[in-house]
Amino acid sequence: MADLESFRREVRDFLADNLPDELRVGNRPDLPEEPLRKWTAALAERGWFTPEWPVEYGGGGLDREQTAVLRGELRAVRAPVESPAGVRLLGATLLEFGTEEQKRQHLPGVARNAVRWCQGFSEPGSGSDLASLQCRADLDGDEYVINGSKIWTSGADEADWIFCLVRTDFDASKHRGISLILFEMDQPGIEVTPLELIDGTAHFCQVFFDDARARADQIVGPLHGGWTVAKRLLQHERTTDSATHGDIVGESKETIVELVKREVGMNNGVLADAVLRERLAAHEIDTRALDLTMQRAVEEVSAGHRGRDIGSVGKFRWADMMKAEHDLAMDAAGSGGLGWEGPGFEPAQLERTREWLFSRAHSIWGGTDEIQKNTIAKRVLGLPE
């Protein structure tokens, strides 16, 4: 405990030295560029983007308690901490399945946030049936030739590398012929098209491969054994997405409580609308329950009392919670929530509307609600199939 307190002081000193006030506003899209770059570099140098990774791969080498202290302090001062797909998903997967060469080649770049990664899993025809993917990799000497298409690839237009599921054995059953392979995005034969969503933005891209190339030694995990690797990666996605929603929502923004209070007004210290009041309380309790349940799941998984599939509960309830929050915001705002662009609405109102629209994606990406419930029924509850 004493050590932990001295570590806390170390973090606070670091923050005092490296985090200017203008950045202490949470993850906002409009942060000043140069200070952000400097802060990010300082954080990366300590390995604190990836605090739990070993130092030799660019990590911070911290234990779980220290990591918790670090995260708590960062949150307390509203430090902007981007959490790119590379760190959250690829890192954990490479640590578990990568060769020593792969780790040394890729992890430091991820840890310094110097190399941007994107994920090539879904395909237009595959949807929830991920294993039905058709994107193929044919061996040609010491390289694979990649052909096909990936969809829902966020950040593909800015990524340096992609971790991509491809079919390497065309005769095996659908789950047994898949490999996870890494290759560079900046090469001939790769085309990226942004996908406009119902919220009017392009969070995702579609990527087309026409004889793109990947080195054969960039396959992660066993050849044709990529399905196991991918499933593990998706578990990470489910756990981290639901555990870190606080970061995703963005802390500097008006909270849902503040929003409802402002839109609906107070009456003798009580929200003027009794029905929205109960909905708001129910939403806050749900959020609390989700946070606690994910914390507990982490404790129980670590202690070996549970399998990782419990993350599926977090994923679908997180989606429920996000949708409920945005529905609540919309209902509190009334027609004020129906603006799209231009004059007549506050920028914050327009942003809320678009976030409401985007919130519908939460129960689809990263495994639909239906897939999560299938997983719980089968793996957690042991119902027959």
Partner 1 sequence: MALTLSEDQQLLRDSARSFLDDKSPVSRMRALRDERDATGFSRAVWKVMADLGWLGIQLRAEHGGSGKGLREVAVIMTECGRVLAPEPVLSTLLLGANAVRLSSNEALKGDVLPAVAAGQRLIAFALEETGRFDPYAINTAAVLTADGYCITGEKRYVLDGHTADQIVVVARTSGAAGDRDGLTLFFVDADTDGVEIVRTTMMDGRNAARVGFAGVDVGADRLLGNAELLDRVLDEATLGLAAEMVGMAEEAFERTLEHLKEREQFGVKIGMFQALRHRAAEMFAELEFARSLVLDGLSAVDEDRDDISLSASAAKTQANKAARLIGAEAIQMHGGIGMTDELDIGLFFKRLRAADITLGDASYHLRRFASLKGY
Point out the residues that are catalytic: 237
Rounded CA separation 9/1 (Å): 13
Q: How far is the CB of 270 from a copy of itself (least distance, A)?
A: 11
Among candidate residues 171, 183, 162, 181, the one with its CA nearest the CA of residue 225: 181
Among a copy of itself, partner 1, none, the one that 149 touches (CB under a kind-dependent 5 to 8 A) is none
> Please, which residues have CB within 8 angstroms of residue 374's CB and are 6 or more apart in sequence?
none
DSSP code at position 91: I
Amino acid at 316: F
Q: Which of 42, 192, 216, 357 binds partner 1 (CB under 8 A)?
A: 357
Among 317, 325, 355, 367, the residue binding partner 1 under the rule CB under 8 A is 317
CB 46 within 8 A of CB 67: no
Say whether residue 381 binds a copy of itself (CB under 8 A).
no
Cβ contacts of 212 within 8 Å, gap of 6 or more? 145, 146, 147, 183, 187, 188, 189, 190
272 sits near a copy of itself (criterion: CB under 8 A): no
179, 223 Cβ separation under 8 angstroms: yes
Query: Can residue 289 be called a binding residue for partner 1 (CB under 8 A)?
Result: yes
Report which of 92, 130, 136 is spatially closest to residue 110, judged by C-alpha positions.
Answer: 92
Q: Which stretch binds a copy of itself (CB under 8 A): 52-60, 80-88, 271-279, 294-302?
A: 271-279
Token pair of 245 as six digits: 């929603």
Restricted to residues 99-118, the positions that interact with a copy of itself (CB under 8 A) are none
Residue range at the interface with a copy of itself (CB under 8 A); choices 24-32, 274-282, 290-298, 376-384: 274-282
Q: Residues binding a copy of itself: what is the number (CB under 8 A)?
A: 4
218 binds, among a copy of itself, partner 1, none (CB under 5 to 8 A by kind): none
* Residue that the structure tokens 């629209």 belong to: 357
- Give the residue with the Cβ less far from a copy of itself, 238 or 283: 283
Residue 227 CA: distances (Å) to CA of 133, 177, 308: 11, 8, 16
State the nearest-atom distance from the C-beta of 265 to partner 1, in Å. 10
258 binds a copy of itself (CB under 8 A): no
Q: Which is nearer to partner 1, 141 or 343 (CB)?
A: 343
268 binds, among a copy of itself, partner 1, none (CB under 5 to 8 A by kind): none
Type of residue found at 156: A
**φ, ψ of residue 247 in degrees (nearest 5):** -70, -40
Cβ at position 330, least distance to partner 1 in Å: 7
Contact flag: residue 129 with a copy of itself (CB under 8 A):
no
CB 8 within 8 A of CB 73: yes
For a copy of itself, the binding residue among 76, 274, 281, 348 (CB under 8 A) is 274
Q: Which residues bind a copy of itself (CB under 8 A)?
A: 273-275, 278
